[in-house]
Structure 1
């Protein structure tokens, strides 16, 4: 290739760059309003300024700070101190399309809820001391009233504590040894068991297998609290309220339903399992109360609502799956406004692949037709480093089965034909950047395949996945990591993903249009805020 002049080379170079980025929203410079262009420039200038003023500093315990670095390491010392994070906290995020209800509320709030219910008890496999407290997991459970009198009075930290003796939650907290931090130390012990810390994520559990073992243990510890009906109802309320506070106007969480085997929902008297339809009744009641409160405050357009993706776990048999599929249909008939779709969840690398369940999954469409309902599949797929493994192959089955969206889709970029199909069929990818990084699929945001999806024109909705475990409450942290890690991605691309999170939701078309209209109004207000307030940070 020859060039007539330096100017000719520069022109063709610019044309090539623009052609390469043509499918990204950030490329549409000529289509932006003056306000969008101004706000986008402010954010880009601020990101560049903080790259010098914030990320070039030295921080104790952080040998290599950089934008998009390991989230848990950079969160407190750097990320939350930036003006960029502060500004993004005010951004209207649209919908949250991928979050597991059992891990959506700050652990501190959950522990505070536990103090309000005398039924909640805790025990340990041995007396706790300074040597073993980091390795002994708490076990929590609501006990029926007649069993509470037999609970122990000796502190968990007393050398005379009898292993596996239940102690009432508040008594255990109050009697926790001062040498181990007293009540605050008790909360730290429980919090450590329900979350992943930087050392676990980046040192001791630095493989996918190891970190998933820790990840799954957090659910086992928290589940007896989260799935105790009185707490669960308030837990869902807090999830919705905290989402709204972060600029999220719609949520489509996944709730695990399991038939009296693992992590059942427990009744208020702690004597029986709660029917799944009553859990949906509770959720519906909370949802309606929140919406009524917002309407009374004149903020009705700040939250459109919520729908639930019915999920069960990939360790059940195909025969058992038929029962769950039928229950999902029954619940859809009773709660048509709540049931959004169906999914199978769990570690794709070790649990059963979609092909294992192909017979009942193929039957599901006919079951729906007979019942007169429509329930789309919204499958997890490709949450793996594999290439041709069973977890990676889930992508083929998810697409063949007609999935409406793909959860994670981390390995999708290895499959050009599947990318082409996602674009043709308008299948959005629920990308969970921080979750993928902490669960060891990528070492930092710079290594994440998200830019490949954006460059290929695949629709994307940013999601938080399991924020109570990872500490990425709401969506601001995920938006921040994506923005900070790229010199190309700007405010316009973030806005496009926020819009896509509404566009690719399961909302009815009229509700979707209402949600998009409300979002656009808040987006314009946010852009004005950025243009007005942003420059003073530069």
Structure 2
């Protein structure tokens, strides 16, 4: 260092000798008396700019090179982003991405930036659940089919507990009364019934629950209400087809559906199995693909509940192997779902899961919790050791640096669902979302919507919007958006030839979107 004539030279040396930055900076006080103030200021500014530039290039999308057309569009996107950020810096209450989604979604929908993102080809959704795919407005239309009964609570609130198609009044031990929905609409104002149904088909607009247990209790009540509507045999395939339509209209070209594979029922006591459920989903996919040439496809992740006995898990794994033999091109893999704090940890099932590890791909939910040092967040370690291809949510991942290091070494992507995390009260202000650290380090992440129907969200655009605005850096641009879309294909359940074809279809639609916006 004695050969350096000024602190400016020292600053440049610090950047070149990356690992020594902080060691060399510790020498600054001893050099101040030998360096003119103007030189020290220039050195400070140079060093600061270089560090920030290095951070920007290292973040998600920082290495994406934009062509001339993309750069032109990027100027427009960043103009709109900066406008919204300036509003937030002036008055945080006007910054929609920092509010609870239920308070901000209608205002977000009106922003030019959201409208731009709505048309953007976003690749695929790799994490979405079967019962929560379609808009609540579509579900309401399904309730106008004949022979649909609703079980009305006997409490003062008269909540709707269940829905079921039947020629005769269903029998139930539930503390509720079965009424034909068409009769209920006739005896009460139909718009009142519809409004109540819509309210119970989503988490909206309640923004605060006492705790996670209360959130999940309400969350599960929606599944209980909707399952009888969707598992009616004539409805399921139509519902899945409609889901593909809604996702496609939102800029999605590929969808991996996590399904419990509920068993159908009909009006005449038909005998159905999970093969019927899967076949209907596959039929919907084939029909949709036949009429949408740029659709990449959809696949199934069989995802039963995680709160079961060892014997039942063995049964589930047998189901997965059966599905693979019947639908080898449609089944992507296996997961266990449900409230992680109530379910059994993955470690309990390690023996059974390791026995089929070479035959079934795993895509485990893990670390969807705020606990630290419990069997719940340690599911992350077990998911990685069991060979999961991706991790669903992974909110606790930053608390386990060795697991994070191992996951990155194995190139395991994290499925980030920001709006879900907020609605289920794991994250408040999305600016504090732990995935921001993963974004800053260009960790392999994908954006997913989890249960968009229950949040009254779009299939993917709302999650992309909040990720772009507040999980990524304020300086993150079209490069980040392009990287996120690209990641969804990179980490999707494809063979190499399929992945190349998927990129070809996505790139074609991406280029068309660029041209359309610039025109």
Name the residue aligned to 1:132: 157
2:165 corresponds to: 142
Q: What does 1:53-452 correspond to in 2, within 5 Å?
A: 65-76=95-106, 78-116=107-145, 118-126=146-154, 132-133=157-158, 136-143=159-166, 145=167, 147-148=168-169, 164-176=176-188, 182-198=189-205, 200-202=206-208, 205-257=209-261, 264-269=262-267, 271-272=269-270, 274-294=272-292, 300-301=293-294, 303-365=295-357, 374-452=359-437
Counterpart residue number, 1:37 = 71
1:123–1:167 contact (8 Å) kept in structure 2: yes
SS in 1 for 2:275: helix
Using the TM superposition, give the Cα deviation of residue 413 of structure 1 relative to its aligned residue in structure 2, in angstroms.
1.5
Counterpart in the other structure of 2:480: 493
Deviation of 1:221 (Å)? 1.1
The number of equivalent residue pairs is 480
1:488 deviates by 2.8
Q: Secondary structure at the match of 1:458?
A: coil
Alignment partner of 1:383: what SS?
coil
> What are the ranges of 5 or more consecutive residues in structure 1 without an aligned counterpart?
152-162, 177-181, 258-263, 295-299, 369-373, 533-538
More deviation in 461-470 or 408-417?
408-417
Matched, 1:506 2:493: yes
CA distance in 1, matches of 2:286, 2:495: 18
Report the alpha carbon displacement of residue 480 of structure 1 after superposing the two structures with TM: 0.7
Q: Secondary structure of 1:307's partner?
A: strand
Q: Distance in 1 between matches of 2:288 and 2:341?
A: 38
After the TM superposition, which residues 477-492 of structure 1 pair with which residues of structure 2 at under 5 Å, given as runs?
477-485=462-470, 486-492=473-479
* CA contact 1:201–1:439 (8 Å) conserved in 2: no
Give the deviation of 1:495 after TM superposition. Answer: 1.2
Between the aligned partners of 1:104 and 1:273, the Cα distance in structure 2 is: 26
Superposition deviation, residue 285 in structure 1: 1.2
Equivalents in 1 of 2:263, 2:61: separation in Å? 45
Asked if the contact 1:26/1:488 (under 8 Å) is kept, the reply is no
> Are the equivalent residues in 2 in contact too, given 1:91–1:247 (CA < 8 A)?
yes
CA contact (8 A) 2:62 2:479 kept: no
Distance, in Å, in 2 between the alignment partners of 1:96 and 1:516 is 15
Distance 1:25 1:40, change over 3 A: farther
1:313 counterpart SS class: coil
Match of 1:475 in 2: 460
Classify the secondary structure of the residue corresponding to 1:389: coil
Q: For 1:207 and 1:454, how far apart are their aligned partners in 2?
A: 28
Q: Distance in 1 between matches of 2:203 and 2:374?
A: 27
Q: Secondary structure at the match of 2:75?
A: helix
Q: What's the secondary structure of 1:360's corresponding residue? A: helix
The worse-fitting range, judged by mean Cα deviation, of 163-172 and 493-502 is 163-172
Give the TM-score normalised by structure 2: 0.88
Aligned partners of 1:323, 1:27: CA distance in 2, in Å? 46
Residue aligning to 1:160: none
Q: Contact 2:150/2:160 (CA < 8 Å) preserved in 1?
A: no
The CA deviation string for residues 307-346 of structure 1, in whole angstroms up to 9 with x for no partner, is: 1001110111111110110111011011101110000000
Quote how far apart the aligned CAs of 1:381 are: 0.5
Give the RMSD, CA atoms, in angstroms: 2.2
> Offset of 1:207 from its aligned partner?
2.2
Tell me which moved more, 317-326 or 448-457. 448-457
The whole-number CA distance in structure 2 between the counterparts of 1:391 and 1:174 is: 48
Distance 1:388 1:88 in 2: 39
- After superposition, give the CA deviation of every residue in 1:289-319 in whole Å (9 maximum; x if it has no partner): 111122xxxxx02x11111001110111111
Cα shift at 1:53 = 6.0
Compare 455-464 and 270-279 and name the one that shifted more. 270-279
Query: Tell me, which stretches of 5 or more residues in structure 2 are unaligned?
Result: 1-24, 29-34
